[in-house]
Amino acid sequence: MKSSEAKLFEHEEKEMSDTERTKVSAALAEIDQEIKSVKQEKRDINSKYRVRINDLEKRQDVLSRQIIDGVVELSFEVTEQPDDEALKINVIRKDNDEKISSRPMTEPEKEAARKRKQLVIAGTEDDGGVIDDDAIPAGAVRAGRSSKTGSKRKGGKK
């Protein structure tokens, strides 16, 4: 065939047999399912990108506010330590032991402070008033706070 010759095609329509109709129906159903699957993938991907974009925009907002305000937001871990004499709870930074703030003790915390004070008084004859952390009653300090607190610890450590 020469390159200048055009290819000719003829088309004709004919009735489908039941077998052909079944095959085409199956192919149509498969394509329909694939379209649904691709659309779901698109929704999933869009959702992931939406979450990523929102996270980035939040970070952008924080940084912009820091530049505008000239203030940097810091997050650090803290612990609460009771001051039994002042009946206050001191909030202490864990990384540098700096006192951040203090607040009045709640009634259960005051009760625990009284119990710790009684332990110190009772312990003066046996061990010079040093509190054994294990001797502090369980639950003496509210949940979320260390029960291993006191004004004096074994070994002279605070």
Q: Is residue 113 part of a domain?
A: yes
Measured CA to CA, the distance from residue 94 to residue 27 in angstroms comes to 65
User: For residue 82, what are the β-bridge partners?
Assistant: 89
**Is residue 10 included in any domain, yes or no?**
no
Same domain, 99 and 34: no
Whether 34 maps to a domain, the answer reads yes
CB of 117 closer than 8 Å to CB of 84:
yes
Same domain for 146 and 101: yes
- Domains held by the chain: number: 2
* 25 and 65 belong to one structural domain: yes
Residues 131 and 109 in one domain: yes
Indicate if 56 and 120 belong to the same structural domain.
no
| Same-domain pairing of 99 and 140 | yes
96 and 128 housed in the same domain:
yes
136 belongs to a structural domain: yes
For the cut 50, the answer to whether the pLDDT of residue 87 exceeds it is: yes
Cα–Cα dist 128/124, whole Å: 5
Q: Are residues 91 and 67 in the same domain?
A: no
- End-to-end CA, the chain: 100
Mean of the per-residue pLDDT values of the chain:
80
Report yes or no: 112 and 145 within 8 Å, Cβ to Cβ.
no
**Given a cut of 50, is residue 146 above it in pLDDT?**
no
Q: In this model, does residue 115 exceed pLDDT 50?
A: yes
Range of the domain at 57: 19-73
In a domain, 6, yes or no: no
Q: What's the pLDDT band for 3 if we cut at 50, 70, 90? A: low
Contact 93, 80 (CB under 8 A): no
- Considering only residues 152 and 67, tell me which one the structure prediction assigns the higher pLDDT: 67
